[in-house]
Amino acid sequence: MHIISVLVNNHSGVLSRVVGLFSRRGYNIESLAVGTTEQNDQSRITLTVNGDDYVITQIIRQLSKLYDVIKVQDVGKFPNVSRELVLVKVEINSNTRDDIMHIVETFRGKVIDISLNSIIIEITGDSEKVEAFIKLIKQFQVRELTRTGLISLERGNRILKEYEEEF
């Protein structure tokens, strides 16, 4: 799995062009997260994709050519911090409440909402933690589940704008 960070000008249509590049070439995006950066006129698109080094190099080269793309980097090649957010609505009753709460505490999750018959849980963490939580919570009646795409930053002082072209 590769984590591709794309710094772009925050204009309408940029995301469509980035995603269109993937669909035109038959590449699958495993996850996608987009948000503004510390500068409101720029957004960061974080994509997770599968592929060998050749395919990833081609993706990065093609993305770099798109209008409004400032920088592209495979952040997964470097030590990084990656997180994902999951919200899960689980059916609860007096028999399952304690077991569910124990799982939430173990994973350092948060109860966001609770009613007589359901609970909404928030979990953040790396992909392995998220997958482990989902696997455990599925033994109960999961009513709804949604997750963000992975977001990631390289550890240390270097920032995406400082990357030199590698091609």
What tens digit of pLDDT does each residue of 85-110 get? 999 999 999 999 999 999 999 999 99
In whole angstroms, how large is the CA radius of gyration of the chain? Answer: 19
pLDDT-derived band at 144, boundaries 50, 70, 90: very high
State percent of the chain over pLDDT 90: 80
* 85 DSSP β-pair partners: 124
- Where do the CATH 3.30.70.1150 domains begin and end in the chain? 81-151
Distance, in Å, from the CA atom of 5 to the CA atom of 16, rounded to the nearest integer, reads 16
* Token pair listed for 61: 């080269």
State both tokens at 148. Answer: 């963000």
Q: Enumerate helices (H) and strands (E) in the chain, giving the number of each.
A: 4, 9
* Fold that domain 2-77 belongs to in CATH: Alpha-Beta Plaits (3.30.70)
pLDDT over 60 at 165, yes or no: no
Percent of the chain clearing pLDDT 70 (strictly above): 97
68 bridge partner residues: none
pTM of the model: 0.85
Task: Name the 3-class secondary structure at 11.
Answer: coil
Contact (CB, 8 A) for 121 and 110? yes
Q: Looking at domain 81-151, which CATH architecture does it have?
A: 2-Layer Sandwich (3.30)
Q: Where in the sequence of the chain do the CATH 3.30.70.260 domains occur?
A: 2-77
Q: Is the pLDDT of residue 120 over 90?
A: yes
